[in-house]
Chain A
Amino acid sequence: MFSIGFLKMRGVCVTSDPTVTCQDVRKVWAEGTKRAHFALGPLSLNIYPGEFVILLGPSGCGKSTLLYLIAGLEQASAGTIKFFGKQVTGPSPERSLIFQETSLLPWLSVGQNVSFGLSIRGVPAEERQAASVKALQRVGLAEAINKRPDELSGGMRQRVAVARALTMRPKVLLMDEPFAALDVQTRAKMQDFLADVWRDSQASVLFVTHSIDEAIALADRVVVFTSRPGRIKEVVPIDLPRPRDPFSPAAERLRRDLTNMLHDEVDRAFAEQEALV
C-alpha cells in the first residue's frame, strides 16, 4: 500500500508498527439533535513512522475533522484511534496540530511563542531560550526571536508555528491546510521548507489540503477522500525522487489522475449542496 522503496531509503523498517491507527472511525456533528450530520467515516487508515501522508478531498469532506480526532481535540462518535497502540483520549504534545490561520499568541514574542509548550511544562527560562533559538534556526528565523507575531509575514508566521510544534518533539505533525492562506510563490517555498524539516525530524506528517500540486510535491501517500461523509476513495502512493519536479511526465500523470478522482467528488458535493438549498 505504501512505498516500500522509499521507506527503506529513509531507513525506516517496513514492518514497524503504525504511529497512528484509525479503525472504523466515524464522526457525527451535533449528535442526537435535529441538526445532526455525518461528517466522516467509517474510515480506517494507518500512518507509519516517518511517513508523509496527504489527505486530499473536496471542501467539507471531513479531512480536518479526522485531524482534530487524531489530535484528540474532538472525540470520535464510533471506532477507535490509537497512537502507538494506545487509545487516544485527549490532546498530547506528541501529536502537534498546525492550523490554517495564524495561531501564534499575539501578546508573546516569537521566541516566547516557540517555547510556549516548554513554559507550560515548567522548563526553566534559560533552557527555553536555548530551545527557541535552536528551533528558530531550524526554520531559518533566528533573527526574528524578539519580534512580535504581527511584525512577520504570513509565511514566516507559519514557519514559527512549525518551530513551535517541533520544540515539543512530536511523533506526528498534523497540519490543517497550513499554507492555504499564502500566495502561490510563498506556498511553493513553504513546501520545500516543510520537506526539509520533515526529512530532518523523525516525525510522520499528516497533511490536509485540497491542492493537488501540494499533494504531488510532498506526499509519500495521497489519501483521496469522497465528499461528505468523508471516506477513503483511493490511496495513491507517490514514489518519485525528492526534490520533485512538478512538471515531470510522472507528475503530470499523477496530476491528471488525481484531478479526475477529485472531479467526481466535487461534482457530488455540489449536487448535494444544491439539493440542500
Chain B
Amino acid sequence: MTKEAIPIVNYRPELTERFAAFRPHLVNFGWSIISIGLFAGIWEVCWALGLTDPRLLPPPHIFLGNILEQGKYFNTAQTWQIGIADGGAASPAMSVLYTILSSTGRVLAGLALATIVALVLGVAARYFALVERLALPTITLLAPVSPVAWLPIAIFLFGIGNRPAIFMVFIALVFTMTIATIAQIDGVNRNYINVARTMGATKRQIYTRIVIPAILPGLLVVLRMNLFGAWMVVLVAEATGVGFGLGQVVMLARNTFNPSLVFFTITIIGLLGFGFDILFRIVQRRVLYWVPQDAGRLRDL
C-alpha cells in the first residue's frame, strides 16, 4: 500500500474540538438539572403520598403551574408610586421582570460599592499603618452587626426606594469584605514580594505589580460568597418596607397567606443566584486565566 492510497478524511477537527471543549459544561449542566429534579421529585412524591399539605407546602407543579396568575401580585410598584406608573397598567410578565430587575440592580449596586470600598480600605490598611490603626478596630467592631440592625438606620437616612436597599447590601458586606481583603493581602506568597524587592521595586510597585494581582483570585471567591449574602440582605431590606421588589412580594405572600407565591419567588431568587454564580465562574476563567482550574480534584481520591 502506497502513501497516496491512504484516504484523507476531513472530519472538520475544529468543530469536534469545539464540542469537546464544550462537553464538560454540558455534563455539568445535566447534573445540575438532575440535582434540582431529584429535589423537586422528592417533594412531588411527598405530595402524591399525601405526606405534605399542598395548601402549606405546594409542590413545584402547583406553584410553577400558575405563573401567570402569580404575576399579578408582582405589580406592587403602585404602592410606592415608583417605576411603573398607574399600577395595573403593566402586564403580569412585565411586572415580574421589573421586580426581578429592581432587586438584581440593588444587589449588584450594593455588591459593587462594597467591593470597591473594601478593596480600597483593605489595601490602604496594609499600605498605611495609620489607616489600619484608625480604621481596623472600628471595622472589626461593626462587622458582626446583623443587617437587620442597620435597617432602621437605612430608613432614617434614605427613606424608601432603591437607596436604602443598596445601603443595606453595602453595609452588610463591606466590613467582612474589608477584613477578607486584608487576610488575602497577608496571604500573598512571600517569595513574590521578595522577588520584587530584590529587583528594586518600590513599595508602590510591590502593591500594584504583585499584591493586587496576587489577591484577585481570592477576592473573586469572596465576591462569589458575598453575592449570596447580598441576595439574602436585599430580601430583608425589601420585605421590611424599604421598597418594592422580590422581598416585598414575599411579604405580600405572607400577609395574604399564599405559599405558592412564596415558593415561586424562592425559585426565582434561586435561579438568579445560580445564574450569577455561573457568570462569576466564567469571569474567573477569563480574567484570572492563571488560576489552575482544578476544582473538584479531591473527587479523584
Which A residues have a C-beta under 8 Å from some C-beta of B?
Answer: 71-73, 90-93, 95-97, 99, 101-103, 105-107, 116-117, 120-121, 148, 150, 164, 168
Contacts and interface: CB of A to CB of B under 8 A. Distances in A.
B192 interface: yes
Nearest to A113: B195
Contact of A120 (B189, B191, B209): B209
B290 A92 contact: no
Contacts of B209: 116, 120
Interface of B: 189, 191-192, 194-201, 205, 209-210, 213-214, 288-292
Given A106-B291, A116-B196, 20 more contacts: A73-B194, A73-B197, A90-B197, A91-B198, A92-B200, A93-B198, A96-B198, A97-B198, A102-B191, A103-B191, A103-B195, A105-B210, A107-B214, A107-B288, A107-B290, A117-B200, A120-B196, A120-B205, A120-B209, A121-B200
A91 B192 contact: no
Nearest to B199: A117
A71 B198 CA distance: 7
A99 B194 contact: yes
13 contacts: A71-B194, A72-B198, A73-B194, A91-B198, A91-B200, A101-B191, A103-B189, A103-B192, A105-B213, A117-B199, A120-B201, A121-B200, A150-B290
- In this complex, the member of A95, A99, A102, A103 whose beta carbon has the largest number of chain B beta carbons within 10 angstroms is A103
A92 B192 CA distance: 15
B292 A150 contact: yes
B292 A92 contact: no
Nearest to A148: B290
B35 to A, nearest CB: 31
Contacts of B192: 103, 105
A92 B198 contact: yes
Nearest to B198: A91
A241 to B, nearest CB: 33
Contacts of B191: 99, 101-103
